[in-house]
Amino acid sequence: MWPYLDKAVCARIRSMTEPIFAEYIGKFQIEAIEFDNLSLGTLPPEIHGLKVCETNENELVMEPAVRWAGNPNIVLVLKLLSFRITLQLVDLQIFAAPRITLKPLVPTLPCFAAVVVSLLEKPEVDFGMTILGGDIMAIPGLYQFVQKTIKKQVASLYHWPQTLEIPILDAATVAVKKPVGILHVKIVRAQKLLKKDILGTSDPYVKLFLTGESLPAKKTTIKKRNLNPEWNEKFKLIVKDPQSQVLHLQVYDWDKVGTHDHLGMQLVPLKTLTPYETTEFNLDLLKHTNIITDPQDKKKRGNIVVELTYAPFREESIKIDGPQDGYGRQESGFDRPSDSELFSGAGLLSVMVQGAEDVEGERHNNPYAVVLFRGETKKTKMIKRTRDPLWNEEFQFMLEEPPLNENIHIDVMSKRTGISFRSKVCNFLHSHCGILSVMLVSQTIFNVGIFGICGY
């Protein structure tokens, strides 16, 4: 592997030094600076020990001790007036303690998206340099000056917390977009729906979801025997990319037995919405979206009325210079909400439940965690027969107001398999029978960085 790594590192050295050399061309009568030879040699670095660090993040951190006594062939040519001056690097030795982080870990080979390298301490570098056949490092004081300069320059670039990041996978392959806003959806009513039941009626309900989400679709209530149902039901959907995501509206006829009949559907691209502005849509229901090639889709299926409001989070709303409807038009009469209006708007609290340790219980250890916040309950999956469960599940709570001086209540429970008996293993707020790891992934749109999360 070393020959290939040698070429890759040398190519990076050339790309990094070219702009530096360019700054000196034309100064001090310098006509050109270039590498005549650039190779790290045939002797690879050696690793003398490796420390792997534990972390709760989605990454792998390693700290090797690296020693390299190489035989590089690095020759730099300096053209000064009509002279050609050759500098050669010889007898290179490096002792370094880098920190190598592979992150984020992803389910795509090679299972990490980037390599991040930094130095925990200044490296020890020893080398010789010849110019016109003579060792210039023998000049009194020059060796110490060069050593000090190299350490200072390397430290300024890569000494922790400075890092060198080397991307491995394409960003589009591993990108996990964070929520940027909330879509408020009000399903108002539908009219003149198709008759699917024997008695000449239908039992309609609406399923709605955003593209690019793996969450289950939300549903309205079922309106029995009604071709013109009134719902007036409100929903909130998390938005990650308003420029590409599309709202799907699917209307079904509920059946007690068998599959539910499809009454019609419609799509609303989020890019057609103006932030903070409520828009009512009266949409004709379609059989599917391919209305051009399918003449059967001209059949009247009724219509659905919805009200949509896209509310971007504060950091996203700052980026908005003006409202656009997605087709290049811009309205001049739009007033951006004040800070007080933004502060009272919707927000999102994301909580990652990682795991628990030493959960109490002697007979049935099938633990799961219950997260309670503002009356809303989220539950992790159950892990069978363990006292040290690892869940790594993320839950999101949509907020209307900032969570000032509030707590998140967390319980670890155990469920005996096969029967409905449920026993409480520990109460996270009052007992110390185990450790439940909770990590705040993101905060609400309000600039509230501290939450009263109950912990240990």
In CATH, what number is assigned to the domain containing residue 430?
Answer: 2.60.40.150
Instruction: State how far the Cα of 263 lies from the Cα of 104, in Å rounded to an integer.
Output: 43
200-228 pLDDT, tens digit per residue, is 899 999 999 998 877 788 999 999 999 99
Does residue 450 sit within a domain?
A: no
Instruction: State how far the Cα of 72 lies from the Cα of 91, in Å rounded to an integer.
Output: 8
Does residue 297 sit within a domain?
A: yes
> What phi and psi values does residue 88 have, to the nearest 5 degrees?
-125, 135
Residue 116: C-alpha distances to residues 62, 261, 454 (Å): 10, 53, 34
Instruction: State how far the Cα of 207 lies from the Cα of 282, in Å rounded to an integer.
Output: 17
Query: In 3D, which of 25, 129, 133 has the Cα closest to residue 80?
Result: 25
- Same domain? For 328 and 198 the reply is yes
Amino acid at 431: S
- Same domain? For 158 and 188 the reply is no
Q: Is the peptide bond before 167 cis (omega within 30 degrees of 0)?
A: no
427-431, long-range: CB within 8 Å, 24+ apart, which pairs?
A: 428/454, 428/456, 429/454
In 10 A of CB 76, how many CB atoms? Answer: 19
- Same domain? For 92 and 194 the reply is no
Spell out the residues 6+ positions from residue 313 whose beta carbon is closer than 8 angstroms to its own. 179, 180, 181, 182, 347, 348, 444, 445
Answer yes or no: are the C-beta atoms of 395 and 377 closer than 8 Å.
no
Q: What is the CA radius of gyration of the chain?
A: 32
**Which of residues 293, 321, 342 is at a domain's end?**
342
- Same domain? For 278 and 425 the reply is no
Amino acid at 77: V
- Same domain? For 402 and 283 the reply is no
Does residue 453 sit within a domain?
A: no
Domain that holds residue 408: 347-442
Residue 146: C-alpha distances to residues 72, 128, 129, 154, 202 (Å): 18, 11, 11, 12, 85
Q: Is the peptide bond before 216 cis (omega within 30 degrees of 0)?
A: no
In 10 A of CB 253, how many CB atoms? Answer: 19
C-alpha distance across the termini of the chain, in Å: 47
pLDDT (0 to 100) of residue 284:
93
Does residue 454 sit within a domain?
A: no
- Same domain? For 127 and 21 the reply is yes
Q: Residues in the chain with pLDDT < 70?
A: 56-57, 132-133, 137, 155-157, 161, 171-177, 289-298, 315-346, 361-364, 416-456
Q: How many domains does the chain have?
A: 3
- Same domain? For 168 and 185 the reply is no
**Which of residues 173, 193, 211 is at a domain's end?**
173
Residue 391: C-alpha distances to residues 32, 117, 137 (Å): 60, 30, 59
**Which of residues 275, 307, 342 is at a domain's end?**
342
- Same domain? For 322 and 401 the reply is no
pLDDT (0 to 100) of residue 416:
63
Does residue 449 sit within a domain?
A: no
- Same domain? For 169 and 185 the reply is no
Instruction: State how far the Cα of 58 lies from the Cα of 105, in Å rounded to an integer.
Output: 6
- Say whether 430 sits in a helix, a strand or coil: coil
pLDDT (0 to 100) of residue 208:
95
- Same domain? For 317 and 191 the reply is yes
- Same domain? For 251 and 333 the reply is yes
Which of the 8 DSSP states describes residue 153?
Answer: H
Does residue 33 sit within a domain?
A: yes
- Same domain? For 329 and 391 the reply is no
Does residue 79 sit within a domain?
A: yes
pLDDT (0 to 100) of residue 212:
80
Task: State the pairing for strand pair 134-135/98-105.
Answer: unpaired
61-65, long-range: CB within 8 Å, 24+ apart, which pairs?
A: 61/99, 61/100, 61/101, 61/102, 62/99, 62/100, 62/101, 62/102, 63/97, 63/98, 63/99, 63/100, 63/120, 64/97, 64/98, 64/100, 65/97
pLDDT (0 to 100) of residue 310:
93
pLDDT (0 to 100) of residue 298:
66
343-381 pLDDT, tens digit per residue, is 345 577 878 888 887 777 665 578 888 888 888 888 888
- Say whether 34 sits in a helix, a strand or coil: strand
DSSP 89-137: EEEEEEEE-EEEEEEEE-SSTTSEEEEEEEESSPPEEEEEEEETTEEGG
pLDDT (0 to 100) of residue 453:
30
- Say whether 340 sits in a helix, a strand or coil: helix
Does residue 452 sit within a domain?
A: no
In 10 A of CB 448, how many CB atoms? Answer: 15
Residue 214: C-alpha distances to residues 122, 159, 218, 416, 434 (Å): 46, 40, 12, 30, 32
